Amino acid sequence: MTRLPKRHLTQLVNAPQPAAWRPWLALALVMATSAAAHAAPKKPDGKKYHFELSAVTAKAEVKADVAKSATPRVEAQVKKAFMTHPQLVATLDGAPDPRTSAEAYRKYLAKKAIAGAYLVTVEITDASEELVPFEDKPNAQRLVIHIGIHMLGENIPGRTMGFTGDGKATIKQEVGLKIRDTDRQHTWDDAAELAVDDAMKTVFKQLAVPAKKQ
């Protein structure tokens, strides 16, 4: 069946027609309007930014063995987020060196429609691993892993304060009396992923707030 353009349907509905035709023509107009709305291109999700990871460290209060488990996993999830987040430009091909050509770097960002570039430091503020027994399951226990992180972004160039963001996550996983390495690894990975995702949400909420005029 041939589809009539929306403008032709509108003309047919508005033109004098037998009463029996009008409901069908009106329905056709509604369907055409709905199809056009669904076909419209989506608007961009927001401004674009560039994040560079400086370092991932753990506070002194985090136990050494726990920090050893948490740090590489948080770093991996941060790098993944910086590569895949829809508002982040992962690489700046051909960009001037911001340390020696600050103004040229700013012009490069403006030309590429990038709202800002930031050097990001991530600190693991809290991390723990705990085994909790089940009262009704003598052959099982719960592995509880918690991670809290703090993100600090400094403007590139200039190293002035850009943003902060905090995230945390707790994962509870049922395991046997003898914990398999894969169970521990997957639980740490899940906690790190959720903590980083939580921090990234707070960062972009902060960046979305219009800067105050000086």
What does the pLDDT profile of the chain (214 residues) look like in tens digits? 445 444 443 444 444 545 554 444 344 444 444 444 454 444 445 899 999 999 999 999 999 999 999 999 999 999 999 999 999 999 999 999 999 999 999 999 999 999 999 999 999 999 999 999 888 888 899 999 999 999 999 999 999 999 999 999 999 999 988 888 899 999 999 999 999 999 999 999 999 988 766 4
Tokens linked to 182: 């894969």
pLDDT of residue 41: 46
pLDDT of residue 45: 56
Rounded Cα distance between 91 and 107, Å, is 16
Tokens linked to 116: 């800002």
Amino acid at site 8: H
| pTM of the complete model | 0.76
Cα 15 to its chain centre, rounded Å, is 51
pLDDT of residue 18: 53
